[in-house]
Amino acid sequence: MKKKRSWLFILPFILCAAATIIYSAVFVWSDDSTPPVITIDSGEIEVSVLSEESELFRGVSAVDERDGDVSADIVVEKISNITDERTATITYAAFDRSGNVAKATRRVRYTDYTEPRFGLTRALIFQKGGSPDVLSYVTAEDQVDGDLGDKVKGTLVSDTSSLSYSGIHEIDFRVTNSMGDTVHLVLPVEVYDTGEYNATAALEQYLVYIQRDSDFRAESYLKELTIGSLDYSLKGDDPEIALYINGQRVGDAGTENPDDPGENGGAIDPEDIIRIDIDMKNEVNTGVPGVYSVTYTVTMNRYIGYTRLIVVVEE
């Protein structure tokens, strides 16, 4: 009986000591405050803006002194806004099983990045009366986000306080994509008096981007003149329409066409030929980057239409 009571007496001490040892072992093991080490083989990588995210991890690894290789747990924590040099800074984060975090950064250069571009669905020319919804005719897109039209903002920067006054106003349009790149484009917005024009002159496009020193033919953007429900081609492809640009005859329309013996071929009665005059004012200088305009005043008998092309010359 004495031996049994002695064993029962020391048993709590043995259990307490065992618990202390186990607790200490677990505590020491979990008391890991050393983060993994991230290794990056270069200070900058080059990728396409359309590359998969996996491309961003090229040459990046991480090792933890207890967990070993934890490269699979590396994540991209953030990517900074893109700079003018088409570069951004990537921040990587790596985790171990104890929740320690290591971070490292490097630059990424997007080899094919282009900033967002604006577009117009019509010329920014409006008849006086009310305030036109100019933003509804301005588009924007880029290769990263696609359509950015709903993100376009505009600020009136000319001296006038609103677009209710006749004349040419200026609006600073801006848009920002998901890479933090904000682009601005200041465009003229014209408001004309009622009755000044009684026809509509249309273009193939109303805002174009061209490279510096590239070939530019302003007349190639002409499309048609609309009077009521009738459309008259300004492309020079209608044999019954004679086009004159700044007083000079263009094309062969309205002349004898021996290669087409059909109803539009042969000699055309001069009385059936419709003359359309186009007064074209071209301010574009392809040798100097900037924003330019071409204005077209199209006249047919007593009808007159007016429109404008915006040309952005890039580097």
| Confidence band of 162 (pLDDT split at 50, 70, 90) | confident
Write the CA distances from 71 to 63, 86, 101, 244, 297, integer angstroms.
Answer: 7, 27, 12, 70, 65
All domains in the chain, ordered by first residue: 37-110 (2.60.40.10), 114-196 (2.60.40.10), 199-315 (2.60.40.10)
pLDDT band at 158 (very low <50, low <70, confident <90, very high): confident
Percent of the chain with pLDDT over 70: 85
The residues, any chain, with a CB within 8 Å of residue 127's CB and separated by 6 or more, are 191, 192, 193, 194, 196
Is the pTM of the predicted complex or chain greater than 0.85? no
In terms of Cα–Cα distance, which of 222, 223, 219 is closest to 248? Answer: 219
Residue % of the chain over a pLDDT of 90: 75
Q: What is the mean pLDDT of the chain?
A: 88
pLDDT tens string 47-72:
999 899 999 999 999 999 999 999 99
The pLDDT tens digits for 168-226 are: 999 999 999 999 999 999 999 999 999 999 999 999 999 999 999 999 999 999 999 99
Q: Tens digit of pLDDT for each residue in 226-235?
A: 999 999 999 9
